[in-house]
Structure 1
Amino acid sequence: MNTSKLDATYRKFRWQIILATFLTYTVMYISRKAFAAAAPLLMEDLGMTVVQFGAASSIYYIVYGLSKFSSGLVADRINPRTFLGSVLILVAIINVGIGMTENVTMLLALYCLTAVVQGCGFPPIAKSISQWYSKSERGGWYSIWNTSHNLGGALAPLIASAVIAATGDWRYAFYVPAAITALQAVICFWLMRNKPETYGLPNVGEWKGDAKQIAINKRSEAGLTMWVMFKRYILTNPIIWLAISGDLCIYIIRTVTNDWVSVYFVKELGWDLVKSNSLVAWFEAGGIIGGLTSGIISDKLFGADRWKTILIYSFILVAGMVGVVLTIDISYLLVSGCFFVIGAGIYAPQMLFALGIIEASHADGAGAATGLKGGITYIGAALAGAPIAMIESAYSWNGVFMILGCIALILIVLTCSIIQLDKRKSQDTASNNKNKLASSEVI
């Protein structure tokens, strides 16, 4: 294959990958969030209690995390086209089943089954992005893909509300997303591709001439079994565990912000529902800006160093949290601006932790590494439910705010620890390479 044809093929497939993965995660969010959007009507129709709904949400987070972990272990061994296309078909079928159900038990069983299938979505996407985009450019591309979270999260309630308003039936809030998901399955089978080497293309690091990616490839041993690779490059990697702990902090703060904002501002401060819910919209808008800017900043200003960029956005997060405390009794606009800042400070580290974990593991271990991360960090989402309610009950909302402040400080400490450990690791690698070079010159 001549150079011009190779370049054209690579560029074509890369655009297909980013488009297919972006649309896939957007559509999966639309299907996933349909339950929450239709909850008030289906609770009334089927007689579901608030306790049942709350329990289902907590179980969902746990099952989703476990599914992410287990699917991550196998995602690195399966063609992502087959994996993602099959996942989308299953999501569509389950959504149709939820729409057809007539009792609470079956509804909750299908909802938990949705968590199992939805948890399989991210690992193959992480694998594809790591294989088609090299380290020095990956932050920018990943940040573009990452906005699919926000787009899907914003479209889900709009689509569900419009469909329910048009039909008067909550069931169509599941049928319509099911149809959209089935269509995306077809698009996914059409656009997705396996790794470049499958099509006679060079590794993306070689194609881009990216020394950082080539270094990752060189330190990644070939021919390892899944378990040996997982144990050697992921399970015993201290940087990955510190990063997962930092991401756990992010998920707790993010989930508390999403799930408890309207409760606090309506019940404690007397705000109306629309006004309080608008803070979540500001939060998501900030998340889009944070996600987009952080990847580009880490690529262009810090030489693809994800950890230093995370530290900057962690301080932005703390600034936003302090800002809410200081402005909460002064101005709605100031408070909403602070939620915008918090969104940027949440979604940027969330994206970069995933990217950093991928790059700290084996070159072919993106699925397993992100699967482990997802399995643990969604515990953070579960911790933002009943435990937060217990803290509020015992120590009021001031206790909740203090806990969140402490978690944010722990995030900063963990990130500083990663930076130091990564620096020491780089120095050791440079020293070892220098010694090898000196030895070869002597010989």
Structure 2
Amino acid sequence: MQLRVLVVSVFKGGSTYAPDVPKYSREFLTRRFIVFAGIIVGYSCYYLTRNSLGFAAPVMVADKSLNMDITNIGALTSIFPIFYGFSKFASGVLGARTPAHILLGSGLIATAAVNICFGFGTSLAWFSVFWAMNGLLQGLGGPCCARVLTNWWASGERGTYWGMWNIAHNVGGFLAPIIVGTVATKFGWRWGLWTPGVIGVIVGLAVLFAVQDNPTSLGYPAVEESVKEEKPTEDGTAGDKPSLLDLLIQNVLKNPYIWGMALTYFFIYVIRQGVTSWFVFYLITAKGVGDAGSAAVRVSGMELGGLVGSLIAGRFSDWMILHAKPGQGAVGKRVQVVMMYTLGVAVALFSFWSLPGNLPWLQWINVFMVGFFLYGPQMLIGLCGAELVGPESVGASEGFLGWVAYLGAANAGIPLSILVKSFGWSYYFGALIAACGGALLLLAPMMNLKSHVQREEAKLKLKPA
């Protein structure tokens, strides 16, 4: 069946609402589907090679020849986010001049090779070097996918597809324990690293052939008219392309709304990491759940809820844009959805805190709802950041947002553990709910925010003919 896509192509001058309803050709839709499948499978494999150590680690500790304990594993897992956060920021900026599909595919091949090399190690120093390298390479994935999504899907449909792409996080997170855990247990921890490495090399090569940066590189028309980033010179000709530093400073760091999105992301990732890191401990220590296995079952609905929530959030934000009134901002519509979801996170957290420990099914449903509401903002804030800047700055914007987000994730570790140890779990939930409040305060001024395309078209209308 041919897919019929609704697209809002223009919000001209912020005062005239003129939606177009184009029909894409069957050939274009087929090619775009291949691109979409490529970024989903590719990013799922990034997650597979990112999470491999976590599920091979118990077998590594059991290997007496390595002389490793849980502290050594903890050191390795602490190294990764430091390099990953920096990498996501740097790759978003430095990769703006490199074709996204080249970075995406070659980055996956490189991180797969690191997994393979890791499997040949015998010392903590070897493991530390290669796991730090893995962190540096993993940051290539997200910003590249953001650039591809921005180029192949217009604003009125982008939220739906961004939400569907976001399930790559869940797919990779689901496959890692099955593939790595099973292989490592049966054949040894080295095969637990080699197997995702081999898979990553194969998929990386496929990504290089399947994914293309934008439709125009294949001879198709652009899905959405965009305003070029090149500044005209005095004689009316196009000037030189802005430098990477200019893209970062002028379009990202000097944009107050990007900072607002970044700080909101900080709070969202405090909540996300705080939930995934501490819910099991909370159930055991505060609700009397007998063991970690039983507690893990009760929180297993998080990823499923997140998958459903992100899909609905993307589709709902597209619907709001398609039904917007004249003069309303496209990004602002997505911000309104983020605010609804963030309020839902606060309610779900309070509900989980209040539930007694002898209602496992209600706890599972409650955790599902936490995931449902939490993954919507996690997905949409990245999309908002992409739509606030021009095409050449999307990678830089996503990299900056990702870097600030992982600073938030880092603050969900030791700070929350100190809070729980010193004051109890009520302060833990109070901190997470307060983070929801902080996010809502930051988002409130952006409820009618216009996209980069809208703002530039408004400027063009003001210029004399």
Tell me if both proteins adopt one fold, taking TM over 0.5 as the criterion. Answer: yes
Indicate the residue corresponding to 2:277 in structure 1: 259
Indicate the residue corresponding to 1:246 in structure 2: 264
Indicate the residue corresponding to 1:89 in structure 2: 109
Q: Compare 42-51 and 181-190 and name the one that shifted more.
A: 42-51
Q: Compare 22-31 and 101-110 and name the one that shifted more.
A: 101-110
Task: List gaps (5 residues or longer) in structure 1.
Answer: 206-213
Aligned-residue sequence identity (percent) comes to 27
Indicate the residue corresponding to 1:187 in structure 2: 206
Indicate the residue corresponding to 1:157 in structure 2: 177
Letter aligned with residue 196 of structure 1: P
Letter aligned with residue 376 of structure 2: A
**Separation (CA, whole Å) in 2 of partners of 1:5 and 1:399:** 53
Say if 1:318 and 1:121 are closer, same or farther in 2 by CA, change over 3 A.
Answer: same
Letter aligned with residue 227 of structure 2: K
Say if 1:382 and 1:424 are closer, same or farther in 2 by CA, change over 3 A.
Answer: closer
Determine which of 312, 335, 339 is the counterpart of 1:307: 335
> Per the alignment, in what secondary structure is the counterpart of residue 25 of structure 2?
helix
Deviation at 1:195, TM superposition (A): 2.2
TM-score when scaled to structure 2?
0.85
How many residues align structurally?
A: 423
Indicate the residue corresponding to 1:324 in structure 2: 352
Structure 1 position 114 matched with structure 2 position 142? no
TM-score when scaled to structure 1?
0.89
Map 1:221-370 onto structure 2 (within 5 A): 221=230, 223-271=241-289, 272-303=291-322, 304=330, 305-370=333-398
Say if 1:234 and 1:140 are closer, same or farther in 2 by CA, change over 3 A.
Answer: same
**Separation (CA, whole Å) in 2 of partners of 1:9 and 1:312:** 38
**Separation (CA, whole Å) in 2 of partners of 1:11 and 1:330:** 51
**Separation (CA, whole Å) in 2 of partners of 1:430 and 1:98:** 51
Indicate the residue corresponding to 1:12 in structure 2: 30
Could you give the per-residue CA deviations for residues 308-343 of structure 1, whole angstroms, max 9, x where no partner exists? 110111111111101101213351111111111110
Indicate the residue corresponding to 2:17 in structure 1: none
Deviation at 1:390, TM superposition (A): 1.9
Say if 1:33 and 1:287 are closer, same or farther in 2 by CA, change over 3 A.
Answer: same
**Separation (CA, whole Å) in 1 of partners of 2:70 and 2:433:** 29
Q: Is the 8 A contact 1:47 1:104 kept in 2?
A: no
Task: List gaps (5 residues or longer) in structure 2.
Answer: 1-21, 232-240, 323-329
Indicate the residue corresponding to 1:209 in structure 2: none
Indicate the residue corresponding to 1:60 in structure 2: 80
Q: Compare 50-59 and 365-374 and name the one that shifted more.
A: 50-59
Q: Is the 8 A contact 1:302 1:308 kept in 2?
A: no
Letter aligned with residue 361 of structure 2: L
Say if 1:108 and 1:264 are closer, same or farther in 2 by CA, change over 3 A.
Answer: farther
Q: Is the 8 A contact 2:76 2:127 kept in 1?
A: no
Q: Is the 8 A contact 2:121 2:127 kept in 1?
A: yes
Q: Compare 218-227 and 324-333 and name the one that shifted more.
A: 218-227
Could you give the per-residue CA deviations for residues 138-176 of structure 1, whole angstroms, max 9, x where no partner exists? 001111110010111011011122213332x12211111
Say if 1:47 and 1:141 are closer, same or farther in 2 by CA, change over 3 A.
Answer: same
Deviation at 1:203, TM superposition (A): 1.8
Structure 1 position 143 matched with structure 2 position 163? yes
Map 1:194-205 onto structure 2 (within 5 A): 194-205=213-224
Q: Is the 8 A contact 2:119 2:191 kept in 1?
A: yes
> Per the alignment, in what secondary structure is the counterpart of residue 173 of structure 1?
helix
> Per the alignment, in what secondary structure is the counterpart of residue 392 of structure 2?
coil
**Separation (CA, whole Å) in 2 of partners of 1:171 and 1:195:** 39
**Separation (CA, whole Å) in 2 of partners of 1:254 and 1:313:** 13
Structure 1 position 44 matched with structure 2 position 62? yes
Say if 1:9 and 1:424 are closer, same or farther in 2 by CA, change over 3 A.
Answer: closer
Deviation at 1:302, TM superposition (A): 3.9
Deviation at 1:431, TM superposition (A): 8.1
Q: Compare 335-344 and 43-52 and name the one that shifted more.
A: 43-52
**Separation (CA, whole Å) in 2 of partners of 1:295 and 1:134:** 13
> Per the alignment, in what secondary structure is the counterpart of residue 179 of structure 1?
helix
Letter aligned with residue 140 of structure 2: C
Q: Is the 8 A contact 2:107 2:138 kept in 1?
A: yes
Structure 1 position 76 matched with structure 2 position 104? no
**Separation (CA, whole Å) in 2 of partners of 1:428 and 1:76:** 22
**Separation (CA, whole Å) in 1 of partners of 2:134 and 2:430:** 34
**Separation (CA, whole Å) in 1 of partners of 2:129 and 2:419:** 30
> Per the alignment, in what secondary structure is the counterpart of residue 310 of structure 2?
helix
Indicate the residue corresponding to 1:211 in structure 2: none
Say if 1:58 and 1:385 are closer, same or farther in 2 by CA, change over 3 A.
Answer: farther
Deviation at 1:67, TM superposition (A): 0.2
Determine which of 440, 443, 446 is the counterpart of 1:415: 443
Deviation at 1:265, TM superposition (A): 1.9
Q: Is the 8 A contact 2:59 2:184 kept in 1?
A: no
Say if 1:268 and 1:54 are closer, same or farther in 2 by CA, change over 3 A.
Answer: farther
Deviation at 1:428, TM superposition (A): 8.7
Deviation at 1:433, TM superposition (A): 7.0
Indicate the residue corresponding to 1:170 in structure 2: 189
Deviation at 1:6, TM superposition (A): 8.3
Q: Is the 8 A contact 1:287 1:346 kept in 2?
A: yes
Could you give the per-residue CA deviations for residues 252-307 of structure 1, whole angstroms, max 9, x where no partner exists? 11111112222222244332222211233201110000111000000013445210
> Per the alignment, in what secondary structure is the counterpart of residue 412 of structure 1?
helix
Higher helix proportion (structure 1 or 2): 1
Letter aligned with residue 184 of structure 1: V
